[in-house]
């Protein structure tokens, strides 16, 4: 009788631990931190250049908030008599979120640099027109 009670208690503890461990999966499913397709989509965004600043700002903010959330997470989680060390998954999630932040930032910086080059060319062309000395009134 006592053995059965202990076995059931241990089984419940491990079920609770499994549920807790599965709860971390949301960080991949919700934000696609390790999603290869999402990374390919981001590269496509870089090529197409159809998204504006607000698109990048929203994504940068999401991943920045995720990094901050991970910094606030408790490293250890106690389930009955078991202490679960969450530091590896917290570090992994934070690292992936930082990587996504860098990627969005890199693409935004590349787009801004190309736009700046276009503006410089436009300014130079307009300056050439301003410096032109007309010889007739027509």
Tens-digit pLDDT string for the chain (138 aa) = 899 999 999 999 999 999 999 999 999 888 899 999 998 998 888 888 778 889 999 999 999 999 999 999 999 999 888 999 999 999 999 999 999 999 999 999 998 999 999 999 999 888 877 877 777 776
Whether the Cβ atoms of residue 74 and residue 66 lie closer than 8 Å to each other:
no
| pTM: predicted TM-score of the whole model, two decimal places | 0.79
Phi and psi at residue 41, to the nearest 5°? -60, -40
Phi and psi at residue 3, to the nearest 5°? -60, -40
Structure letter (DSSP) for residue 133: P
């Amino acid at each position: 009788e006592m053995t059965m009670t202990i076995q059931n208690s241990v089984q419940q503890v491990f079920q609770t631990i499994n549920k807790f461990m599965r709860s971390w999966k949301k960080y991949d499913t919700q934000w696609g931190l390790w999603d290869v397709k999402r990374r390919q989509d981001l590269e496509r965004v870089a090529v197409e250049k159809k998204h504006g600043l607000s698109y990048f700002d929203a994504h940068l903010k999401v991943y920045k908030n995720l990094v901050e959330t991970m910094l606030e997470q408790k490293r250890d989680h106690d389930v009955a008599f078991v202490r679960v060390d969450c530091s590896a998954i917290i570090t992994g999630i934070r690292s992936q979120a930082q990587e996504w932040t860098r990627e969005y930032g890199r693409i935004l910086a590349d787009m801004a640099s190309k736009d700046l080059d276009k503006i410089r060319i436009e300014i130079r062309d307009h300056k050439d027109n301003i410096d032109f000395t007309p010889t007739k009134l027509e």
